[in-house]
Structure 1
Amino acid sequence: MSTPLGLSGRIAAAFQRNALTPLIALVLLLAGVFATLVTPKEEEPQIDVTMANVIVPFPGASAQDVEALVARPAEQVLSRMAGVEHVYSVSRPGMSIITVQFEVGIPNQTALVRLYDTVHSNSDWLSPQLGVGEPLIKPKGIDDVPIVSLTLWTADPERAAFELQQVARASELELKRLPGTRDVTTIGGPGRVIRVQLDTERMNAHGVTAQDLRAALQLANASQPAGSLVRDNREVLVQTGTYLESAEDVRRLVVGVFDDKPVFLRDVAQVEDGPDQPSSYVWFGTGASGSAAGSGVFPAVTLSISKKPGANAADVADAAIKRIESLRGSLVPDGVEVTVTRNYGQTANDKAQKLIGKLAFATAAVVALVFFALGRREAIIVGIAVSLTLAATLFASWAWGFTLNRVSLFALIFSIGILVDDAIVVVENIHRWHTLEPDTPLWKLIPKAVDEVGGPTILATFTVIAALLPMAFVTGLMGPYMSPIPINASMGMFISLAVAFIVTPWLAQKLMKSVDAHHHEGEDKLTRKLDGLFRRIMTPMLDVNHGGRARMRLWLLVVVLIAGSVALPVVQLVVMKMLPFDNKSEFQVVLDMPVGTPVEETARVLREIGAELATVEEVTDWQAYAGSASPINFNGLVRQYYLRSAPEQGDIQVNLVDKAHRSRQSHEIAVSVRDAVTAIALRNGGNAKIVEVPPGPPVMSPIVAEIYGPDYAGQIEVAKRVRAAFEGTKDIVGVDDSVDEAAPKLLLRVDQAKAARMGVSQVDIVEVVRLGLSGENVTPVHGGDNKYEIPVRIQLPATRQSDVASLLSMKVRSRSGQLVAVSEVVDVFDTRREQILYRKDLLPVVYVTGDMGGKLDSPLYGMFDIRSKLRDMALDGAPGLAGTLGEWFIRAPADPYAGYQLKWDGEWQITYETFRDMGLAYAVGLILIYLLVVAQFHSYLVPLIIMAPIPLTLIGVMPGHALFGAQFTATSMIGMIALAGIIVRNSILLVDFVNQQVREGVDFSEAVIRAAAVRAKPIGLTGLAAMIGAIFILDDPIFNGLALSLIFGVFVSTVLTLVVIPVLYFAAMRKRLAQLTGESE
């Protein structure tokens, strides 16, 4: 009586001659084609991280008042929202910016609804009498990052930034009309403004004040429908008043009466229609490898274009570039050049095309492996099975909501080696049975062959899924960034199992019609060689009487190898890092000049740095932004670079020639220019940092020390000492802190007694000085086809704004109507600007930041080197400081007011959280694997034996990284986690075969040897397949660690598993042989 078929055998029997089977295969293939065409292409995964700035103006208030009356209450209100991860605030004179960072994964719309509801339902936290303005909420998310930057520049000396800005603004609407575009913004160039430049002497002579001019402009610029009347049996609409429509209308405006004659505005001020006084500068510079027409440095503006959620970055970018090209000669006149200075759509498309090509090559390589190992027909079957699995996995990935990005595609390439396992095991066993029983009809033989390996194949597949899937629950920014790997790989494994049981038997029925006698003879020869090899190796260890000593030597060897591998990171032969730098085509120089530096000086230093960068061989072009933020990337979004608009702030975007045309990686180039760039900044009193696009989730800075304590002045003093420790540590670069340099401030204090006697209010004095110095956009002009408002601005001429005497000569009108000079009622004092106050999670904080250079190039090692200088640092020598500096790693100090304490943040925090969560995922995966194997073998001991080779992966992983000089990164850890499932799969196949042989009456020791010899081929094939798939990602800087883990881990652990598992199983179970029963399907 034949043994009944199990689940896998019954599935194979049902589909091997079923007419639906080829239709199922066709549907899977078409689904994959569909997914490839419709899935949006992006370079990086879209992480749902929502941040929002709540900007609260408090005109005239000191930084201390802003913090006490605005920031603290606002933080308490905002921090109580569900899903808030951090609340930051920056309090400066006159304004507070409270930043709310929501937990990763909370939908953008949900987060913003909560925020708006919380802010507006708690608007009573501030008293109306305080003079605090209405909170302005500015949300930021991943979709605010521009995917395309178009820099407009000109070498025409007749044109300047103002004309370029007008061209850019005229082009905005055309670009916004494109499907998928979200925001189109012009950066740089002075806007158009009608300037009313006050002539204080003529104003005084005609008896008018700046406030009179402001009131006249506002009152004259009014128009409104008054209603209608009936005339000649027709309704006639009545409009009262007209708007100011031009500079000439402004000039003709009557602003007062003097000597019974009207005083026109042109009599007391000069009115000009033209570019505003520049508050920022943008330049375009060519580099050594530039292809732009002309060379040098040119005025420029930049158009930045972001896309809507879900839109295809490649399509939006391509359409935007084509549209701007079509505007040449019309909206973009001759002489205005347009250079694409960012194209994330192209990089996304290029990366997708390259990785899809690698996917095809990896599949072909695996098929070639099967061809040489099993034969032509078997290779065709495996190739079709893998192609269908990949097609279905692409469709499942699209349905899940993933885009085609580097991580999701790398997940498929990495998965090739494990997706092919099921097909290889099934095809190899059908091939083996067909070789052993060539006269048996295939339709009878296939279900039995599938059934023999079906049980362990199902179990092995679910063990791999159990190892990978828990990684999908990693928290923080790293979780969603890497989630395509566990999710896509797990879905692919499940699909591959279904294809192996449904489509593979049908293909075998159609293609494996005969057996090649010559190939059969070669296989017999290989089997005999393997049998002889394992017999020589294992026989001494399987001897009942004397095998114990041989086995002990084997265990000792394994322990020594594992201990040696673990020691490699300890002696720094393997360096630990979150993620290595990617080979990008851009980097950034961020410049901070001393507080109070005028924007013109910042621009001069940027040009000097740009001239140095232009000499670098790989630089194609660069764009400098002084007093204005450049188009942000994801790193700039998290670091809030979009707020960098102070006169002393600037940055340079550096574009490199495509990596296919240069020998140096972008990180090497960035490091090579660091010394020269920082030297230029230091020589001019500034601080310049090289900022590279991070390979994964960005942080505030690679190394961050947060200083907490009972007194902010004391925190600043401690921060200075910590900064000194940073600067005194070898290979620490880019050191900075949040302490502002002392900068001058002029205080005009109103003499209340004099003002009262003269009938002048302090409010009038404050207003007139602000009007003269900062100016005020008092009203707009109307008419024309202008997208942006054209304001009428009252202000002193630029040449007189730096003259204190001109400010003091301005006059205000007293209650009696007399004009009183400001100089008569104010006293002038030289003071210092107030320190900007920072808070994080309801606590005052001072930041010290830095980065790690040098050979190790890992911030973790730099942080621990700094610690050695800070350990037990005595806080003495300054007023109010005593004791030692406390230190925290994981969370903020429990009692921040007990003394001054330091909390480490930056890459350390995200590394800790990532490896903590991955370690937990690894542990959960091992528990799930154990439970699955217990359920299959009905034993608590056998699963431990099957899982014993998991530590063997270390013997391959760590030496492999050391051999290639590679850092052990988060992707390396992913490879180790995947290895757990792969190696357990091999163990299951070995143990299951031993049990089958024992049930057939074979001696236990003989069964152990046969298991190693017979299963060596499928195990070797699946191992080689995994290694081949990994080879195709070996050249990627980020996923290099994953590839090394798989290649060396699979190779070493597979070789050792073929010996260690059978011997270990023999040693543990030989005394319980009588209890062995059939556990497999």
Structure 2
Amino acid sequence: MKFEQYKTLGFTNWCIENRTAIYIFTFIITLGGLLVYNNLPKEQFPDIKVPQIYINTIYFGTAPADIENTINKPIEKQLKSISGVKRIKSNALQDVSVILVEFNPDVQVSDALQRVRDAIDKSKRDLPQKLDSGPTAQDVNFSEFPIMNINMAGNFSLNQLKDYAEDLQDAIEAMPEISRVDIVGALKREVQINVDLPRMQSSGLAFYDIQQAVQGENINVSGGELNVDGVRRTLRVKGEFSEVETLRNLQIRTATGATVRLGDVADVQDSFEEQQDFSRLDKKTVVSLNVIKRSGANLISASDKIEETIAKYKADRFPQGLDIKITADQSERTRAELHDLVNTVVLGFIFVVLVLMFFMGVRDSIFVGLSVPLSAFVAFVCMPVVGPIVGTAFTLNTIVLFAFLLGLGLVVDDAIVVIENSHRLFNQHKDWDIKNAVKAAAGEVFVPVMSGTLTTIAPFFPLLFWPGIVGEFMKFLPLMLILTLFASLFVAYVINPVFAVTFMKRHDENGHEAVDTSFDSLKRPLIIMAVLAGIGYVIDRGIGNLMIFFIILYVFNHYVLTPKIIVPFQEGLLPRLKNGYRKLISWILHGWRPVWAVVSMFILLIGTFMLMGVVQPKVIFFPSGDPDYVYVYNVMPIGTDARVTDSVTKVIEKRVFKVLEDEKAMNIVNSVIANVGKNAGDPFNPDRAATPHKSKVTVAFVKSEDRDGRSTEEILGKVRVAMQGIPGTEISVERESSGPPTGKAISIELSGEDFNTLQTLEKTVRKGISQAGIEGIDQLKSDLVTNKPEIVININKEKAQREGISAQQIAFAIRTALFGTEISKFRDAKDEYPIMIRLKQNDRSKIEQLLSLNIVYRDMNLGGQLRQVPISSVADISYSTTFSQINRKNQERLVTVSSDVVPGFNANQINQQIQQVIDQMEVPNGYTVRLGGEQEDQQESAIFLMTALGVAVLLIYLILATQFNSVIKPLIIFVTILLSFIGVLLGFMITGKTFSVIMSGVGIIALAGIVVKNGILLIEFIDELRGRGTPLREAIIEGGGIRLTPVLLTASAAVLGLIPLAFGLTVDFVSLFRDFKPNVMVGGASAVFWNILAWTIIYGLTFSTVLTLVIVPCLYWINERIRMKWFGKKDPALAMKREPEPEAV
């Protein structure tokens, strides 16, 4: 064909004619990509923003049942009418109401928050009038989590340590990356008025009198302005207390007109509130600062700034002897994982280029290989533009980097086709110059290249709509792959043609790249690289060493790699492989052999599914390796004093250290931190209220490469066993989350209205599971606790009304006596502190003293005379037990029975056995028993992934039907997807690897778009040969032989790009070239998390590629034979060549 007969692309032609502009553009893209990469916030995992709203209400002195009726139910009533609500969960605790509203994923967080606030406003008319706090609504941001603990200790008092901690807190909170800093273990200053009840009542006083007197004297009020000698001066009445002694000497007037000194009826002191939180580091008391990062901020940058600030304060402001130690620094793990993944990407890129060299030669492989970094740079430059469009903020995290790693073998596909076709036309048409060859080549393959790119992208498109927390966590994978693959298409048609025009050379007479092995051909390149090496050594030793490596590699390629290895491969092994493949296809396309081959494939498919039912490989939700952190959560009965919780926590610490010492594991432990009262719960729990009944012990291990092969999973199991037998508390031992936050591995939800029935169901469930003898369950625990001790003050309404006393007055008096009430502020030069009034410790610990409290009120029937009536005259008490908390889900009461899984057992297999127990139960009408927690999230994700796979298949079919203008040919190509399924399942069963619902599911969906390319390459070229007049059988044989190279090349590139991650192989290239220390490592946290997905693609793509080369030609042959026999349609090739067709099968 003449050049004029080829269709060319206008924009590619323009790029070729304006190469200088394209080179400048490429430089700008490279520079811009590097700048964006360097400036992206760096995190371990992406920001998770889901439409979940958290409502918190505090109402001191209120039991859970009353919280449920007076707060939760009225708010839920309004919430359920909001559009877009997916589920509503509520917890009624002592004094606290917690409601979590989860919206459908299509609702924006800001809209969800506003809708909830509107619902709260509507519910306020049904809520108690004097709530202590709330209801307040805030969005749940899983990205705002503690990034480090800063622990301060030394020979200083807790008050001094608190002052130092507050100085550091102010400096850190001023950083734009930081949301807040919580201080744990410090004392909080307050001025206490601890009333002696007998003295107060004998003096004729009440809390009200003291409160009025303090508020009336502790004032600082403006009196206006006064004109004095033409100068306007402000008047200010200053009556605030400047010393505690002044407050102690305050005179209080009684109802009789007498005065009483405050110090005579109360102990007034400048002190500290009762300590509600404690912190220890390695059993030593410390004051800790828990640093919370702002959403979207750069974790590594924040960590660096904090360390610089600490170093500066230690040098300039803090005294000698103040020890400051950073623990649980999340940036260390993030640095390590990002560093490992970047090195894995580089290693995968090297593997991809190597395989390209063998199939395409060194020069062409460089053209193609450059498409990898250039596609990445284009994608990086597009991130700031695409982010606002899709409603997300990009960060550099493990998900984004893995997307690039997964795309290593995919982004080269477009460049391979364009460069290979350019080379073919350039060597085929000796009278063409390189410009015409590249223009014609790019135009000729544009449609199949575009089609191939779209079919690869299609499976990832439905993943963008993944709902829930898991979807928010994983969505960056499809988003980055789509962006990178489109970038590769851009590079293939804008930049690669320009490179080809500039550097491509014709083959020699043997059809291979001309190689000049003389030393003269080396002089100029070596001189240039030597100069660059010298400049590199001036800048950095690593750069200089890298240039020396390139010089060695260039010489090695010149004398050894190309002439001794690559050329013999291309002239020897590759032609023999092609000839062997042609003979195989020639043999199999005979008689009924194609039919038997296809039937065998379907038998293998069915047999694989049957074998899977027998073998039953382990299935997990998210993959996880050895933990870096072990958390021991301790939950005491609600109402437990913080000091009691702390004493139990010390027992837990002692047992933890005993395990570590017995296991000789102290050398792999970085720190053991104990938090009591604050930051003692799940870091992903939005509730930041003080919890004196909770504590947490955190064991932080050193980096995995420094553990001498010790398994921290085993230590976790030992700690879990050691925690058994501590009475009066509920203890759970957990690991850090390796993915998005999910529920318990084993969680059974019982819902209904009547607690007695739920209690019976809960006992039935426990009994059934126990009788079933299910192994692997650590310890079943129920959140239904009905034996919380309670003292009820029963008000005699008739007597109270006769005396003119309300229930609210009684409740306020009791609350002031017990909890205390802030009645004013005490200010000094530095800060202000609350003035608190309540009974002395001895008085408030006796119920008789509380009942003797006088209610003071003004009796209008007696002319406004003040009267004092003891509570005991209008109320009595009773002792009972009540619920510690009442949980609800979607307006129904909920009881949850949960447990951890013993290490070595599979949660899914355990849940399957539990489900069998549930199915055999008789559940009353109106009540449900089902699996929740992680199992609920897993089921939701599995359903979505199956739906996404179906949508992906439909999209791929639409693209292929458009390309081939056929109904049957896309179905033939779809066989490659079935073959990939066989490969994945057989691979996991043979190797015994664990199947992950998320990672393996995403891998299978990705395979649907990857493997069809092989079928496209084969059928497209067979059709092309037949269109030229080649008979059917010869077209299939020859088309397969010619397309064998690109099929093997694209598959090998994709597989080899993933091999480093599959084995967890990393090489520290910076250390290698700077210090000659490669620090080769196999395994690592990133490999544990991602290798299941990598192996899924490797298994499926390898198996599918091998069988596709046989099954697709057989199906093509069968389809044509059936079409000719049953429909009488002749082969289109007969219109051009009258050669006999093979007999129909």
For normalisation by structure 2, the TM-score amounts to 0.84
Check conservation: 2:223, 2:236, Cα contact below 8 A.
Answer: yes
Inter-CA distance 478–945: structure 2 relative to 1 (3 Å threshold): same
In 2, Cα distance between equivalents of 1:860 and 1:807: 54
Matched, 1:870 2:918: yes
Q: CA deviation at 1:770?
A: 3.1
Alpha-carbon distance in 2 for matches of 1:452, 1:942? 21
The 3 A distance-change label for structure 1 pair 1012 and 838 is: same
Q: 8 Å contact 2:629–2:701 — kept in the other structure?
A: yes
Equivalent position of 1:426 in the other structure = 418
Deviates most, 726-735 or 910-919: 726-735
Q: CA deviation at 1:785?
A: 1.6
Cα distance, 1:187–1:424 mapped onto 2, change above 3 Å: same
* One-letter amino acid of the structure 2 residue matched with residue 228 of structure 1: E
Moved more, 59-68 or 171-180: 59-68
2:1003 equivalent among 962, 975, 984: 975
Determine the structure 1 residue equivalent to 2:895. 846
- Looking at structure 1, the residues matched to 801 and 496 of structure 2 have their Cα atoms a distance apart, in angstroms, of 98
- Hey, what does 2:1020 align to over in structure 1? 992
Change (3 A) 1:796 1:1010: same
Cα 1:239–1:177 change in 2 (3 A) is: same
Q: State which of 475, 489, 503 in structure 2 corresponds to 1:511.
A: 503
2:288 match: 302
Which residue is equivalent to 1:879?
none
Which moved further from structure 2: 378-387 or 22-31? 22-31
Say if 2:333 is the partner of 1:347: yes
Deviates more, 1:724-733 or 1:938-947: 724-733
SS at match of 1:954: helix
**Aligned residue in 2 for 1:894:** none
- Superposed, 1:268-417 pairs within 5 Å as 268-285=265-282, 297-328=283-314, 332-401=318-387, 402-417=394-409
> How do 1:244-643 and structure 2 match up within 5 A?
244-256=241-253, 262-285=259-282, 297-328=283-314, 332-401=318-387, 402-434=394-426, 441-515=433-507, 520=512, 522=568, 523-526=570-573, 528-543=575-590, 547-548=591-592, 550-582=593-625, 585-614=628-657, 615=660, 616-617=665-666, 618-630=668-680, 633=683, 636-637=684-685, 640=686, 642-643=688-689
Alpha-carbon distance between aligned partners in 1 of 2:446 and 2:5, rounded to the nearest angstrom: 10
Residue 623 of structure 1 deviates from its aligned partner by: 1.9
Structure 2: unaligned runs, 5 residues or longer: 388-393, 513-566, 860-864, 1065-1086, 1136-1145
CA distance, structure 2, for counterparts of residue 305 and residue 480 of structure 1: 24
Question: CA offset at residue 723 of structure 1?
Answer: 3.5
Distance in 2 separating the partners of 1:641 and 1:525 = 69
For 2:1132, the equivalent position in structure 1 comes to 1076
Work out whether residues 17 and 509 of structure 1, in 8 Å CA contact, stay in contact via their aligned partners in 2.
no
Contact 2:177 2:297 in 1 (8 A): yes
Shift of 1:699: 2.3
Is the 8 Å Cα contact of residues 419 and 500 (structure 2) preserved in structure 1?
A: yes
Comparing 766-775 and 476-485, the one that deviates more? 766-775
1:294 aligns with: none
SS at match of 2:586: helix
Kept in 2: contact 1:777–1:791 (CA 8 A): yes
Alignment TM-score, normalising by the size of structure 1: 0.89
- 8 Å CA contact 2:918–2:930 kept in 1: the answer is no
Residues 800, 659 of structure 1: CA spacing in aligned structure 2 closer, same or farther, 3 A cutoff? farther
Residue 912 in structure 1 maps to residue 909 in structure 2? no
Q: C-alpha distance in 1, partners of 2:692/2:60?
A: 20
* Alignment CA distance shift 1:66-1:804 (3 Å): closer
Aligned counterparts of 1:9 and 1:202: Cα–Cα separation in 2: 99
Q: Which moved more, 1:963-972 or 1:487-496?
A: 963-972
For 1:374 and 1:772, the matched residues in 2 are separated by 86
Q: Which amino acid aligns with 2:598?
A: W
> How do residues 727-806 of structure 1 correspond to structure 2 at under 5 angstroms?
729-749=774-794, 765-786=810-831, 789-806=832-849
Matched, 1:902 2:926: no
Distance 2:887 2:151 in 1: 37
Q: Match for residue 150 of structure 2?
A: 151
The answer as to whether partners of 2:70 and 2:127 remain within 8 angstroms in 1 is no
Query: Deviations 1:680-711 (Å, cap 9, x if unpaired)?
Result: xx332322112223232222322322212242
CA separation of 1:652 and 1:541: change in aligned 2, threshold 3 A: same
The 2-side partners of 1:856 and 1:537 are apart by 46
Separation in structure 1 between the aligned mates of residue 655 and residue 1034 of structure 2, nearest angstrom: 74
Matched, 1:659 2:679: no
SS in 2 for 1:415: helix
Judging changes above 3 Å, is the alpha-carbon distance between structure 1 residues 261 and 660 closer, same or farther for their aligned structure 2 residues? same
Give, as a single letter, the amino acid of the residue that structure 1 aligns with 2:232.
E
What corresponds to 2:1056 in structure 1?
1028
**Match runs of 1:1009-1024 below 5 Å:** 1009-1024=1037-1052
Write the distance in 2 (CA, Å) between the matches of 1:248 and 1:670.
56
In structure 1, C-alpha distance between the alignment counterparts of 2:1056 and 2:975, rounded to whole Å = 25
For 1:137 and 1:198, how far apart are their aligned partners in 2? 33
Question: 1:191 & 1:1062 partners in 2: Cα distance?
Answer: 79
SS in 2 for 1:794: strand
Deviation at 1:758, TM superposition (A): 8.3
Higher mean displacement: 652-661 or 519-528: 519-528
For the 8 Å contact 1:410–1:1033, the answer to whether it is kept is: no
Distance change >3 Å, CA 983–CA 50, structure 1 → 2: closer
The answer to whether the 8 Å contact 2:50/2:472 transfers is no
Q: 1:949 aligns with which of 960, 969, 976?
A: 976
CA distance in 2, matches of 1:49, 1:444: 53
Cα distance, 1:805 vs. partner? 4.7
Which residue does 2:1091 correspond to in 1?
Answer: 1040
Deviation at 1:58, TM superposition (A): 5.2
Deviations 1:109-144 (A, max 9, x none): 333233323323x1554277x666774314143266
Match of 1:705 among 742, 748, 766: 748
Q: Name 1:885's counterpart in structure 2.
A: 923
8 Å contact kept, 2:1029–2:1133 = no
What is the CA distance between 1:415 and its match in structure 2? 0.6
Distance 1:993 1:216, change over 3 A: same
Task: Name the residue aligned to 2:879.
Answer: 830
Question: Do the aligned residues in 1 keep the contact of 2:78 with 2:123 (CA within 8 Å)?
Answer: no
Instruction: Quote the offset at 1:148 in angstroms.
Output: 2.8
* Residues 668/385 of structure 1: CA separation in 2 closer, same or farther (3 Å cut): same
The answer as to whether partners of 1:152 and 1:300 remain within 8 angstroms in 2 is: yes
- Corresponding residue of 1:668: 713
Query: How far is the alpha carbon of 1:997 from its aligned partner?
Result: 1.8
Q: Does residue 126 of structure 2 align to residue 126 of structure 1? A: yes
2:45/2:399 contact within 8 Å kept: yes
Name which of structure 1's ranges 590-599 and 1051-1060 shifts more when overlaid on structure 2: 590-599
Counterpart residue type for residue 506 of structure 1: V
RMSD across aligned positions (CA): 3.1
Letter in 1 for 2:885: I
Aligned length: 1029
Q: Aligned to 1:1049, what secondary structure does the other structure show?
A: helix
Whether the 8 Å contact between 2:7 and 2:440 is mirrored in structure 1 is no
Query: Residues 387, 519 of structure 1: CA spacing in aligned structure 2 closer, same or farther, 3 A cutoff?
Result: farther
2:1115 to 1061, 1064, 1072: 1064
How much does 1:437 deviate? 5.6
Deviation of the 1:218 alpha carbon: 2.2
Residues 468 and 977 of structure 1 are in contact (CA less than 8 Å); yes or no, is this contact kept in structure 2? Answer: yes
Any idea what the Cα deviations from partners look like across 1:881-906, whole Å, max 9, x if unmatched?
A: xxx127xxxxxxxxxxx333213222
Give the % identical residues.
Answer: 25
Equivalence for 1:892: none
